[in-house]
């Protein structure tokens, strides 16, 4: 169980994370989403005990996380920049990881190296950007740490490697349940993995919901401009666009089924809003607008 209580992270006068309160039950896959500069990496660094919060507390199973050897041994934090020695060979990197983490599975690491077509005898410095990301995935998954944090681990990986990554995360999570926190910008690709989604916006938690609830949160309504305008009156409109006499509006919230039935009878159509689309609307620079 992870608890964040009034957690803030500051760098001099700049506040990266501001008074975050979160309860993250164990044994789930979480998606941490946010625009560049929203504070994702700063929050994850505090959560993984890499950084002491400027204010507040991070608790893992009721214990303070920072400089807690037990918590740190059970936490694996893979950043986009690998914390390994560039001159080391991959097989040496995995060996060191096995010394440091009691849960590290060397056989699984070897399987993953082969799966991502990484030569164990190669030195880290000779890897491409995508191969370094794949090495991070190998270390993160093979660690099998109770809390595994992957921060933008896909950077530089091609579509095939990313698909392999997503498949392995799900398969190994089902075989060895633990808590995953994945930070990503490729929301549409990985959204199906998430059980819960946390959205950060300018250092604050904008949203924390079950993924299925989030998918059902928004709706698009399309039809004749006048009819759409009448339907959205009094509702929160996230965005809208028009083409000729046709108007499409994206709403935050699910209309009453009776209202939808009447609107469909009047020629309006309704559609779902994907996680990525809703994220874009919720974190845009434009404030939410309640149409009057």
pLDDT exceeds 50 at position 288: no
Provide the CATH number for the domain around residue 279: 3.30.70
59 DSSP β-pair partners: 3, 64
- Considering the chain, what is the average pLDDT of its residues? 90
**In the chain, what percentage of residues exceed pLDDT 70?**
97
- pLDDT given for residue 285 in this prediction: 54
**Residue after which a domain boundary falls, among 150, 178, 213:** 213
Stretch 209-217: mean pLDDT: 85
How many domains in the chain?
2
Same domain, 179 and 74: yes
Domain limits at 222?
Answer: 216-290
Same domain, 169 and 272: no
pLDDT in tens, 32-82: 999 988 999 999 999 998 889 999 999 998 889 998 888 888 999 998 888
User: Which of these three, 191, 213, 235, is where a domain ends?
Assistant: 213
pLDDT in tens, 257-287: 999 999 999 899 998 888 888 888 888 754 4
Residue 199 has pLDDT above 70, yes or no: yes
Q: Last residue of a domain, which of 213, 248, 268?
A: 213
d(CA 289, CA 238): 7
Label the pairing between strands 218-224 and 55-60: unpaired
Asked whether residue 208 falls in the same domain as residue 253, the answer is no
- Over residues 138-188, the pLDDT tens digits come to 999 999 999 999 998 888 899 999 999 999 999 999 999 999 999 998 888
Q: How far is CA 70 from CA 34, 60, 73, 171, 187, in A?
A: 30, 10, 5, 27, 32
Q: How many CA within 13 A on the CB side of residue 133?
A: 18
């Amino acid at each position: 169980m992870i608890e964040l209580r009034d957690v803030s992270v500051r760098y001099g006068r700049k506040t990266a994370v501001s008074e975050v309160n979160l309860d993250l039950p164990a044994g789930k896959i979480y998606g941490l989403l946010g625009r560049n500069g929203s504070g994702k990496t700063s929050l994850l660094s505090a959560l993984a005990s890499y950084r002491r919060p400027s204010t507040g507390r991070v608790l893992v199973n009721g214990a303070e996380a920072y400089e807690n050897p037990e918590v740190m041994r059970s936490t694996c934090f893979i950043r986009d920049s690998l914390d390994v020695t560039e001159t080391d060979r991959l097989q040496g990197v995995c060996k060191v990881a096995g010394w440091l983490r009691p849960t590290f599975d060397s056989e699984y690491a070897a399987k993953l190296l082969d799966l991502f077509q990484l030569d164990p005898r190669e030195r880290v410095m000779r890897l491409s950007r995508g191969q370094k990301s794949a090495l991070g995935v190998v270390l993160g998954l093979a660690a099998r740490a109770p809390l595994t944090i992957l921060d933008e681990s896909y950077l530089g990986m091609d579509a095939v490697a990313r698909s392999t990554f997503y498949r392995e995360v799900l398969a190994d999570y089902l075989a060895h349940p633990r808590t995953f926190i994945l930070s990503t910008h490729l929301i549409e690709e990985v959204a199906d993995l998430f059980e819960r989604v946390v959205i950060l916006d300018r250092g604050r938690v904008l949203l924390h919901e079950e993924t299925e609830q989030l998918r059902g949160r928004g709706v698009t309504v399309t039809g004749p401009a006048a009819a759409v305008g009448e339907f959205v009156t009094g509702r929160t409109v996230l965005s809208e666009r028009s083409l000729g006499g046709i108007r499409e509006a994206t709403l935050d919230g699910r209309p009453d089924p009776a209202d939808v039935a009447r609107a469909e009878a009047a020629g309006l159509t309704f559609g779902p809003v994907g996680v990525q689309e809703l994220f874009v609307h919720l974190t845009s620079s434009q404030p939410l607008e309640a149409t009057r």
